[in-house]
Amino acid sequence: MKDVKGRALQKLAAMRRMAAMRGAGPVDVLNFKKEPISATNSNLECGIAIRPGERAATVVAFSPSGHLLATSGADGVIRVFDTVRYKQQRALTTHMNWVMALAWSPDGGNLVSTSDDKSIVVWSTKTWEPLHTIQGNNSAVRCCCFSPDGASLIASSPDSSSALKVYDAKTWAVVEEMAGHGDMIRCAAFHPDGSMLATGADDNVVKVWHTSLWTLVRSLESRGHTAAVMCCAFNDAGTVLVSGSADKSVIVWDSHSWAPMQVRSRAANTDDPCELSVGSAVMDGVVGL
Amino acid sequence: MLSGHADAVLCVAFAPASNVLASGSSDGEIKLWDTGNWRTVRTLTGHKDFVQGLTFHPNGKLLVSASFDKSVRCWV
């Protein structure tokens, strides 16, 4: 049994070395130019197309200061770009599978990555070395976020994708674990004042948690999503929570009543007062890069 | 409910200190919504595959998107 584990660890180390070599490639900025999207939208431009790797890009995150942009994707390599020339400054390699979430600590001192390789890695942004690795056994980790005060890190558990874990952001010890959802958790977002956390999952449900005791405030199911909840975010003021879903909709939740907000239709010829009409929306031209 | 995307909504991001919400979809489109009236103000096309990630620069003037089409785009 010990040998099996030893061999597995050796294999993992070899795979990580290969990943390190893979990430040591050239700088990947293919295009650096600014051009308008269309003549009618001259104030909105598609400036730069970066090709971070040879595989799908899944996540982008600006550092709190805005000086750095971190990207990652299917190759598991985290690339850090400066935001002046958008040149790659670092390629961080350790993940063996897709990276689906990145989170900067509010003070910018740590970058956390979570991966389908069942691990959560905390990087120092001084040395760009891994400070801490949380290696699970069973589950891809699809989401993570820091509390606004930087004291806690939330992530889905690397041992059960439907469970949530709260980590102390100094010791990286597990502070709390919640059963979470009935299926894989896809997203998590803090209320800007830190008092609440919202999570969304493949069970179609958005849940809101008190962060003082980590108890459930509300399970948003009524008039909710009819397919997996892929993403969620609070606005700056904390007055609304939005959730996006595989059911193609975005729901705007009032963060006091937790009811979906009624959005008045722009088009006069539709009967549904909740729906925006895409037909009346401004459509922009295709970006050619 | 904000409808308008033709496929799954994979990512959302609020612009800091602004009245804009961005959402990205499996059909490669990004929509910008006015958070005052929740109407679509722009549809950003260009990605040829899932838009899986979105982030606003802290100054609110730049939106960056990550796509399964292997590109990252910056929208200013």
Q: Which residues, 6+ apart, have CB-to-CB distance to A158 below 8 Å?
A: A118, A119, A120, A134, A135, A136, A137, A138, A139, A141
φ/ψ of A268, rounded to 5, equals -80, -20
* Residue B10 structure tokens: 């994979």
Alpha carbon distance A21, A2 (integer Å)? 29
DSSP tag of A259: P
- Residue A6, helix vs strand vs coil: helix
- Residue A51, helix vs strand vs coil: coil
Domains observed in chain B: 9-75 (2.40.10.480)
Question: Residue B38: which of A51, A243, A276 has the nearest Cβ?
Answer: A276
Alpha carbon distance A227, A237 (integer Å)? 28
Answer yes or no: do B9 and A289 touch at CB < 8 A. Answer: no
This prediction has a pTM of 0.83
Q: Which residues, 6+ apart, have CB-to-CB distance to A10 below 8 Å?
A: none
Query: Could you tell me which residues are beta bridge partners of residue B20?
Result: B34
The edge-to-edge listing of strands for the beta sheet with A240-245 is: A229-234, A240-245, A250-254
**The tokens 């705007």 sit on which residue?**
A252
Minimal Cα distance from B69: which residue of A?
A56
Alpha carbon distance A129, A109 (integer Å)? 12
Q: Which residues of chain A have pLDDT under 50?
A: 20-46, 265-289
| ipTM of the complex, rounded to two decimals | 0.97
Element (H, E) at A95: none
pLDDT value of position A289: 21
- Please answer whether residues A69 and A80 qualify as being in contact, where contact means their C-beta atoms are separated by less than 8 angstroms: yes
Alpha carbon distance A18, A94 (integer Å)? 9
Q: How far apart are the first and last CA of chain B?
A: 27
Chain A partners of B50 at a C-beta cutoff of 8 Å?
A: 56
Is the CB of residue B4 less than 8 Å away from at least one CB of chain A?
A: yes
Chain B partners of A266 at a C-beta cutoff of 8 Å?
A: 37, 39
pLDDT, tens digit, 9 for 90 and up, residues B50-66: 999 999 999 988 899 99
Answer yes or no: do A45 and B75 touch at CB < 8 A. Answer: yes
Q: Is residue A41 classed exposed, middle or buried when 0-12, 13-18 and 19+ CB atoms within 10 A define those classes?
A: middle
Chain A partners of B52 at a C-beta cutoff of 8 Å?
A: 56-59, 100
Strands (E) in A158-245, as ranges, are 160-168, 174-178, 185-190, 196-201, 206-210, 216-220, 229-234, 240-245
Chain B partners of A87 at a C-beta cutoff of 8 Å?
A: none
Is the CB of residue A180 less than 8 Å away from at least one CB of chain B?
A: no
**The tokens 């099996």 sit on which residue?**
A4
